[in-house]
Amino acid sequence: MTSTETPAQRSLLSRRTTLLAAATVLVGAAAAGLTARSDTGFRDVLEPVQIAMSVLVPFFGVLAVTGLHGPPAPRPDADRRLTPRLVTAVGLAAGFALSGVLLAAVATGLAGGGWPPASRTAALLVGAVLVQVIAQLVGTGCGLLLRRPGVAMAATIVVPMGVTGLLGAIDSGGGLVRWFTPYGNAQALLAGEPTAALGVVVLLWCVTPNVVGAVSRARPHRAVPDRA
């Protein structure tokens, strides 16, 4: 029986992805180690850990979906195969978020830092998961739209950073950054203070690119007529 597994599915278990996962955790551990001090609290450690990990997390989303663009055109069941890939990518993002929470907690404990109340800690945990899920969906959106893994991975860094820098230059108060960028929204989530900007960021950076990319991928390719 011929396997229907595509390169994108196999990539989640590939050596390259394993190394990328290790690098993501190491980046989080380094951020925790550099930040944790006796005069810093858990939240102060958690934010840089999650922000640092969110730079690499979208790469997994890119790898999960770019293999769907097989020549000469996607198979008829391609749009049905996208859903489990997105679910897997979101689950992986949540796993990285929780590993980042654990790294921050260990670093805070070892440094003798302070701890917030249980209710605030729970809000920070939820915020950490949302930060990584948003980052991952930025990755899947770039993968679906750009289709080339290397280009899409670069876009997950260049585009959000470019938009953040541009909006920061326009509005020095940071309001536009908080409302319209994943980074600004992440700061609010990792402060345990989510705002209505969460919905705007999810719509602009997660829903729209993934829906447009999925529709583009599912659209049948028309053969170029032979003019000879």
What does the block give as tokens for 69? Answer: 């663009």
In a 3-state reduction of DSSP, which class is residue 41? strand
Locate all alpha helices (DSSP H) within 39-192, ordered by sequence.
42-66, 78-111, 118-146, 149-170, 175-180, 182-189
What does the block give as tokens for 189? Answer: 């989530």
| One pLDDT digit (tens) per residue for the chain, 228 residues | 444 554 544 545 577 788 999 999 999 999 999 999 989 999 999 999 999 999 999 999 999 998 665 544 444 444 447 889 999 999 999 999 999 999 999 999 999 999 999 999 999 999 999 999 999 999 999 999 998 999 999 999 999 999 999 999 999 888 999 999 999 999 999 999 889 999 999 999 999 999 999 998 777 555 445 444
pLDDT per residue as tens digits for the range 144-168 = 999 899 999 999 999 999 999 999 9
10 Å CB burial of residue 53 (0-12, 13-18, 19+) is: buried
Side chain identity, residue 82: L
In this prediction the pTM is 0.86
- For residue 61, CA distances in Å to 9, 113, 147, 187, 225 come to 11, 34, 12, 22, 35
